[in-house]
Chains A and B, each alone.
Chain A
Amino acid sequence: MRYLFRRFQRLVVVMVSVTFLTFLLVNVLPGDVAYEMAGMDSSEEEVQAIRDELGLDRNVVLRYLDWAGGILTGDWGASFINKEEVWHALAQRFPVSLELMLLAQLIALSLAVPMGLISAYRPGGRADRVIGTLAFASVSMPSFMTAILLIFFFSLHLGWLPATGYEPLSAGLWENLRPMILPALALGLVEWTVLMRTLRAEMIGVLQENYIALARAKGMSDARILLVHALRPSSFSMITLLGLQVGRLMGGSIIIEQIFGIPGIGRLLVHAVNTRDFIMIQGCVTLFAIAFVTANFLVDIAYAWLDPRVRLERARG
């Protein structure tokens, strides 16, 4: 319990420093928001009026405190550019990004787990070497390059899947998934290798354990030993990595959303940066940070599920 409390404390400090850091950065963005809002041919007075209204001349720390107070009471502010509520904009786009990232991670996992199992089964064997080579190639292929190749091949050449676009879930599951397949593939095809290597390394160790020898002595089949006896105790590092990868995944989704024209947080952020819409930037980054922290908290819970020893410690508190 004390450990959990300490973790939570640290979490709060991190959230505060993330948001404050962004606030500072956004505030030194070149270009004056007030000018852009006022329009090209506005007088100095008009600009000054906007500055006063937004409180742009006040101390950065005070303005940060204002903003943070707003967040805590559920008021994320409104865009300077089009007056859209930040919260509303985020709520609309977050599910889109989430879907993309979940699909990507699903693809990554469904590649990483079988490949990791096969590799670890006979380390140094032919299958292991083939998979190792594939992994090397795959990790050398950043998502934007994969995206280009996927579009070239599946959209332009074969015409199977759309190159851009997004359909809401309300249009039907398949309609929703169809344009998501290529973007999720582009993201997932980079991430699987790290997961696979981590699983492989840990599983090679687990397969040397006495309890695996006992499972063999019990007459269990190789498939059962790999899937039932070895997989769970081998997944700890991989699960930790799943949490840490959320950061990379969010970064990757910014590019992928840009390439495939997916209306998610990534595009919102790029647009906000380009228009110096700093309250919106602030909102996006805050949401990213919350998502990252939450993902890693979920990883902690997954740990407890995987390892009964952890579960017991929790129960004892």
Chain B
Amino acid sequence: MSEPLLTVENQRTAFATGRGLVRAVDGVSFTLERGRTLGVVGESGSGKSVLSRSIMRLLPPNARSSGEVRLGGRDLTAMSEKALRALRGPEISIVFQDPMTSLNPVMTIGAQIGEVLTRHLGMSRKAAKARSVELLASVGLPQPDVRVDQHPHQLSGGMRQRVAIAIAIACEPALLIADEPTTALDVTVQAEILDLLARQQAERNMAMILITHDMGVVAGRCDDVAVMYAGRIVEQASTEDLFRDTRMPYTSALLASIPRLDDPPHRKLEAIAGRPPDLIHPPAGCAFSPRCRYADDLCRSQPPALEDAGRGHRFACWRPMTMEAAE
């Protein structure tokens, strides 16, 4: 079998702060094949956005990063900033969470899409503009020939996110990272944007990492799901396996927090008690143990390793749940 599109090997990213080292990503490894979708799920502060920036190699100056990120056989961690810039756009691109702030307020839509085309594909300005209109049409923006000359403030949130997607797919990247692409949007628009991403991905045969805090988003849209907690992957499986055969209590708690259609109205969503762990002084054992209702002395004293339980279902837990317990 040839090498997967993306290999992340023991990635660690920490930030030096006055209070100490914040270990935002703490030894993450996974692979992603071409054209596949990986969902990365976790609470705020679980390190999933930092992971996405570690893959893009877009880290602030005070970040300490180690590990290996291989994209199409090349080790991104060993590349110069200049070489990386040439990759961002044509090979790997990203859609951010908040479309209200991720577009430049003083540049036209056309200029923001067009510069990617002129920079990476060497198009003329005129060709870039024509191509921008096509891209806008393909992401379902009405009146693309008018919108191309407008500024972001003239567009709604959903429309802006469509523009952001158009920018991300402009150079047909092999890998698209969507970092909470629908969190800031109205509920009615969320499904449209997710469907658009799925359609673009299928059409262009891109691999996608879909980052979200919402288990409901990954269901049915991702091939695989990785659950992150305290900077580590705590459970990873095919979406089907994960939903059917949940092993990690944390995953189970995340699943319980999805509102269901058949819920009685105003049912209180089940929430996970306790706070996410302090990433400067993480708990000695399993990071989730202080909040886990099954935790015992072993959980609190020794960190469990991420182990494969067959069929690519990996989890890190001393007291994995059985199917019955998950019900």
* A residues with CB within 8 A of B: 122, 209-211, 213-221, 224, 228-229, 232-233, 306-309, 312
Contact = CB atoms under 8 A, between A and B. Distances in A.
B102 A214 contact: yes
Contacts of B85: 219-221
Nearest to B108: A308
A211 B105 contact: yes
Contact of A308 (B94, B119, B151): B151
A221 B82 CA distance: 8
A84 B164 CA distance: 66
A264 B88 CA distance: 56
Given A219-B119, A306-B106, A308-B153, A213 B58 contact: yes
Interface string B83-101: 0111111100110101001
B25 interface: no
Contacts of B101: 209-211
Contacts of A122: 61
B204 to A, nearest CB: 17
Contacts of B105: 211, 233, 307-309
A229 B106 CA distance: 8
A213 B106 contact: no
B153 A217 contact: no
Given A219-B88, A308-B151, A214 B115 contact: no
A308 B111 CA distance: 14
Contacts of B61: 122
B104 interface: yes
A220 B153 CA distance: 23
A209 B87 CA distance: 22
Contacts of B88: 216-219
B217 interface: no
Contacts of A308: 105-106, 151, 153
Contacts of A309: 105, 151, 153
B116 A229 contact: no
24 contacts: A210-B101, A210-B102, A211-B101, A211-B102, A211-B104, A211-B105, A213-B58, A213-B102, A214-B103, A216-B58, A216-B88, A217-B58, A218-B88, A219-B90, A219-B120, A224-B115, A228-B107, A306-B106, A307-B106, A308-B105, A309-B151, A309-B153, A312-B153, A312-B154
Given A218-B89, A219-B116, A306-B106, A213 B96 contact: yes
Question: Considering residues A214, A228, A308, A312, which has the most beta carbons from chain B within 10 angstroms of its beta carbon?
Answer: A214
A312 to B, nearest CB: 7
Nearest to A125: B61
Nearest to A221: B85
A218 B153 contact: no
B167 interface: yes
Nearest to A234: B106
Nearest to B99: A210
A219 B167 CA distance: 12
A283 B85 CA distance: 60
A122 B119 CA distance: 25
Contact of B56 (A215, A217, A228, A229): A217
A219 B87 contact: yes
A209 B120 CA distance: 23
A215 B112 CA distance: 9
Given A214-B167, A224-B115, 20 more contacts: A210-B98, A211-B103, A213-B58, A213-B96, A216-B58, A218-B89, A218-B115, A218-B116, A218-B167, A219-B84, A219-B90, A229-B104, A229-B107, A232-B106, A233-B106, A307-B105, A307-B106, A308-B153, A309-B105, A309-B153
Contacts of B115: 218, 220, 224, 228
B213 to A, nearest CB: 18
Closest 3 CB pairs of A and B: A219-B88, A308-B151, A210-B101
Nearest to B153: A309
Contacts of B107: 228-229
Contacts of A220: 85, 115, 119
A219 B86 contact: yes
Contacts of B87: 219
Contacts of A307: 105-106
A214 B181 CA distance: 13
Contacts of B154: 312
Contacts of B164: 214
Contacts of B84: 219
Contacts of A217: 56, 58, 88, 93-94
Contacts of B86: 219
B113 to A, nearest CB: 9
Interface in B126-167: 151, 153-154, 164, 167
Question: Considering residues A209, A228, A232, A308, which has the most beta carbons from chain B within 10 angstroms of its beta carbon?
Answer: A308
Nearest to B151: A308
A306 B151 CA distance: 12
Contacts of B167: 214, 218
B301 to A, nearest CB: 40
A122 B90 CA distance: 28
A55 to B, nearest CB: 56
Contacts of B103: 211, 214
Contacts of A312: 153-154
B37 to A, nearest CB: 19
B279 to A, nearest CB: 21
A233 B151 CA distance: 13
A122 B85 CA distance: 19
Contacts of A215: 104
Nearest to B84: A219
A306 B153 CA distance: 14
A232 B106 CA distance: 7
Contacts of A306: 106
